[in-house]
């Protein structure tokens, strides 16, 4: 028998302490320390069924034989885009999102597509019964003979099922519900999450099983458990969206096999999640025409051009400190652009409240949206609408210049495809590029030039 000792572990960052602390010294969170019991066993290690304990020896990198693993089609073009082309055998993927956002629906539909394609899929759930999974599968039409369902939380029993089924794909819903009997702490604790994730990682790497883990999120939106959890997995996906809205966005924040700039857009309907093929048309479907404060920006989400609507409202205030509010863009970026408009253009916004919103719930991170923000603010301030067939993009510098951006041709072609007539682009981006026919491309060098052109 081993010797037991008590320790206190922060449930947010995993910091350990021999005594209880009100404030965590690692992440500065309050009331996050939970008492856990650790059993110390003087052995070389605990054997896990089905895993080899062969000792690896160092070898020169030039002697390692490289091989291109074929990607597994996940059955969804949007999911394949976010993953970088499909599932990689032996990869460990973590999917997080708010409760009820559609994580289980997405993974059950993906499991169905993979099973229909000839893959053996084991869907392990610790939150629902087999009848509940069956009811959802009937509603989604996700039934296949090679899709196996296991309602279990004990990792030892899960490993036994792995030996029996020998799946190609493993889905665990969720990692916070499974537990390792050798760890003397409650399921969902830092020790259990870390230990179980390590075991599933060894299974994925040694057996070549693509493993998808569902992770709960905290009230701040981060995946619950220690930050080490995101370091251990190969890919971290976040499922975002408003619960009262039918549209969902899948975003990769970490991907060892592809880009982290891609997003996948889905629509939640009665029969499950469907792909949105043209997000630009979706985001612009309810755009008002001839209204001051509204403009269209050409943004890039990875390799996909997306046209979104920016809405600004500038109104006078009676308070000494004006209010600024931004939804979908960085708040500090909004303040910076307001300062540029005041200093370089002469707009007196010190006594004006400014509100900015990106329609459709999109989050714009790239600086190419700066010019659109400035145009929307100026349009609302001067109460002059821009032309409905205009699209703008460009980065704004502190001296008022419009700086060049990348992938200008893709942005302009997307605007041409959706029927826009004119695009305002940075003059620095016109080098070594020929504009297409059917759309007017107007280069500008400063913010003042752009506003004189769009708001004469």
* Residue 368: φ, ψ to 5°: -65, -15
CA 202 to chain centre: 25
- Rounded-to-integer distance, Cα 179 and Cα 176, Å: 8
Q: Is 17 helix (H, G, I), strand (E, B) or coil?
A: strand
Within a 13 Å sphere around the CA of 413, how many CA atoms are in the beta-carbon half?
Answer: 9
Sheet strands side by side (includes 390-392): 324-327, 352-358, 304-316, 294-301, 390-392, 422-426, 440-444
* Residue 123: φ, ψ to 5°: -100, 110
Sequence-separated (6 or more) residues with CB below 8 Å from residue 54: none
Residues forming a β-bridge with 5: 38
Tell me whether residue 102 is annotated as binding: yes
- Rounded-to-integer distance, Cα 125 and Cα 443, Å: 56
Tell me whether residue 226 is annotated as binding: no
**Cβ-based neighbour number of residue 136 at 10 Å:** 16
Tell me whether residue 380 is annotated as binding: no
Tell me whether residue 98 is annotated as binding: yes
Sign of the alpha-carbon torsion through 367, 371, 376, 378 = positive
Tell me whether residue 361 is annotated as binding: no
Tell me whether residue 104 is annotated as binding: yes
Tell me whether residue 103 is annotated as binding: yes
- Rounded-to-integer distance, Cα 12 and Cα 27, Å: 8
Q: Is there a contact between 174 and 215 (Cβ–Cβ < 8 Å)? A: yes
Sequence-separated (6 or more) residues with CB below 8 Å from residue 81: 262, 264, 302, 304
- Rounded-to-integer distance, Cα 405 and Cα 425, Å: 9
Tell me whether residue 75 is annotated as binding: no
* Residue 393: φ, ψ to 5°: -165, 150
Q: Is 421 helix (H, G, I), strand (E, B) or coil?
A: coil
Identify the helix (H) or strand (E) that includes residue 138.
Answer: helix 130-140
- Rounded-to-integer distance, Cα 123 and Cα 171, Å: 5
Binding residues, by number, are 97-104
Binding residues for ATP, by number, are 97-104
């Amino acid at each position: 028998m081993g010797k037991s000792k008590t320790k206190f572990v922060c449930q947010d960052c995993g910091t350990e302490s021999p005594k209880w602390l009100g404030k965590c010294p690692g992440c500065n969170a309050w009331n996050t320390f939970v008492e856990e019991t650790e059993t110390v066993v003087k052995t070389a290690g605990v054997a896990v069924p089905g895993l080899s304990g062969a000792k690896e020896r160092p070898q020169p990198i030039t002697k390692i034989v490289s091989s291109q693993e074929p990607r597994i089609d996940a059955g969804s073009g949007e999911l394949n885009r976010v993953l970088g082309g499909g599932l990689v055998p032996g990869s460990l993927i973590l999917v997080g999102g708010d409760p009820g956002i559609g994580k289980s629906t997405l993974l059950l539909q993906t499991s169905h597509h993979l099973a229909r394609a000839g893959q053996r899929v084991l869907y392990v759930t610790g939150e629902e019964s087999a009848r509940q999974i069956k009811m959802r599968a009937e509603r989604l039409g996700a039934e296949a003979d090679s899709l196996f369902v296991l309602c279990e939380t004990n990792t030892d029993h899960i490993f036994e099922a792995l030996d029996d089924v020998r799946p190609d794909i493993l889905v665990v819903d969720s990692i916070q519900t499974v537990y390792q009997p050798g760890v003397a702490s409650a399921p969902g604790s830092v020790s259990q999450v870390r230990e179980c994730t390590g075991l599933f990682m060894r299974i994925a790497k040694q057996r070549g099983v693509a493993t998808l883990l569902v992770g709960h999120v905290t009230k701040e939106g981060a995946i619950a458990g220690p930050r080490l959890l995101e370091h251990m997995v190969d890919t971290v996906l976040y499922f975002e969206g408003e619960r009262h809205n039918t549209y969902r966005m899948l975003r990769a924040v970490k991907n060892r096999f592809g880009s982290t700039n891609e997003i996948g857009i889905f629509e939640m309907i009665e029969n499950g999640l469907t792909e949105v093929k043209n997000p630009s048309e979706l985001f612009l479907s309810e755009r008002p025409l001839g209204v001051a404060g509204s403009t269209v920006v050409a943004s890039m989400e990875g390799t996909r051009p997306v046209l979104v609507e920016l809405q600004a409202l500038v109104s006078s205030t009676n308070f000494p400190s004006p209010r600024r509010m931004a939804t979908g863009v960085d708040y500090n970026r909004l303040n910076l652009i307001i300062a540029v408009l005041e200093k370089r253009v002469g707009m007196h916004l010190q006594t004006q409240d400014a509100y900015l919103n990106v329609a459709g719930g999109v989050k714009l991170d790239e600086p190419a949206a700066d010019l659109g923000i400035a145009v929307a603010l100026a349009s609302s301030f001067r109460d002059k609408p821009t032309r409905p067939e205009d699209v703008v993009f460009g980065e704004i510098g502190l001296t008022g210049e419009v700086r060049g951006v990348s992938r200008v041709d893709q942005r302009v072609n997307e605007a041409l495809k959706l029927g826009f007539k004119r695009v305002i682009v940075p003059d620095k981006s016109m080098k070594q590029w020929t504009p297409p026919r059917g759309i007017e491309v107007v280069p500008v060098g400063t913010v003042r030039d752009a506003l004189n052109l769009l708001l004469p």
